[in-house]
Amino acid sequence: MSKPFPLAILASGSGTNLQAIIDAVEDGRVPAEIRVVICNRANAKALERAERHQLATELVDHKAFPSREAFDEHVVGILRDRGVELVCLAGFDRLLSPVFIRAFPERILNIHPALLPSFPGLHAQRQALDYGVRIAGCTVHIVDEKTDHGPIIIQAAVPVYSDDTVESVSERILAEEHRIYPEAVCLFAEGRIRIEGRRARIADEEPLADRALVSPALG
């Protein structure tokens, strides 16, 4: 058997995506090893989750650094020391500078709670609801030097109902995030992703049933 793929997860908040990846690694769905979980907020639930699973953790408070670049250099140092080859951003609330992105070219993944390129940036679910979309969703993509912009690995779509609130639609999207993020990590760990310009080619991709998601449902 080949060696598990060495990855790191960076999180700032509740860490439910972190949890989904931990669970997938622990039950053997993803052939990876979580070398370190890095968190920039001492009170983040994400940190507790990592500790509960006896994972190596590093708390790196961004406020202790004079610049974004200095913080990034420090984090890159930790990742290199741990032999990390894939960095997963999971609700990490700091923008990465080129210092970080160039240290891990095409080796940083992010999850965004919208169907990019629609609704990049903060409060994506609210943006989608306010716009009036009837299909929302989430995206796992490669991180490049523009926010929420790099090549797309996987997307999942969910319906939006007339009586939805930001909370209800966010919950529906989050359930899909927890499905597709471990999937994307798995594709990466198995070496099945090849980036060609903006397009991610997936080796041995299964075709989907030829049926559209239509929302609202046709009567």
Sign of CA pseudo-dihedral 96, 99, 102, 108: negative
**Do residues 78 and 100 make contact, with C-beta atoms less than 8 angstroms apart?**
no
90 scored as a contact of ligand GRF (CB under 6 A): yes
User: Which residue's CB is nearer to ligand GRF, number 73 or number 148?
Assistant: 148
Of 5, 15, 103, 128, the one binding ligand GRF (CB under 6 A) is 15
User: Which residue's CB is nearer to ligand GRF, number 22 or number 32?
Assistant: 22
16 scored as a contact of ligand GRF (CB under 6 A): yes
Structure tokens given for 23: 């669970």
**Choices 6-14, 143-151, 160-168, 205-213 (CB under 6 A): range interacting with ligand GRF:** 6-14
Characterize the bridge pairing of strands 135-142 and 108-112.
antiparallel
113 scored as a contact of ligand GRF (CB under 6 A): yes
112 scored as a contact of ligand GRF (CB under 6 A): yes
Instruction: Let me know how long the chain is.
Output: 219
**Choices 27-35, 74-82, 108-116, 154-162 (CB under 6 A): range interacting with ligand GRF:** 108-116
Q: Could you say which residues in the range 156-185 bind ligand GRF, by CB under 6 A? A: 174, 177
137 scored as a contact of ligand GRF (CB under 6 A): no
Structure tokens given for 9: 């997860």
Neighbours of 60 (CB within 10 A): 16
User: Which residue's CB is nearer to ligand GRF, number 45 or number 70?
Assistant: 45
72 scored as a contact of ligand GRF (CB under 6 A): no
Write out the E strands in the chain. Answer: 5-11, 32-39, 57-59, 86-89, 108-112, 135-142, 152-159, 193-196, 199-202
Structure tokens given for 48: 């507790």
At which residue do the structure tokens 């999971």 appear? Answer: 90
| DSSP reduced 3-state for 68 | helix
Choosing from 74, 112, 123, 149, which is the catalytic residue?
A: 112
141 scored as a contact of ligand GRF (CB under 6 A): no
Of 5, 8, 9, 17, the one binding ligand GRF (CB under 6 A) is 17
The whole-angstrom separation of Cα 196 and Cα 70 is 31
The whole-angstrom separation of Cα 116 and Cα 21 is 22
Binding interface with ligand GRF (CB under 6 A): 11, 13-18, 90-91, 111-113, 174, 177
Give catalytic residues, as residue numbers: 112
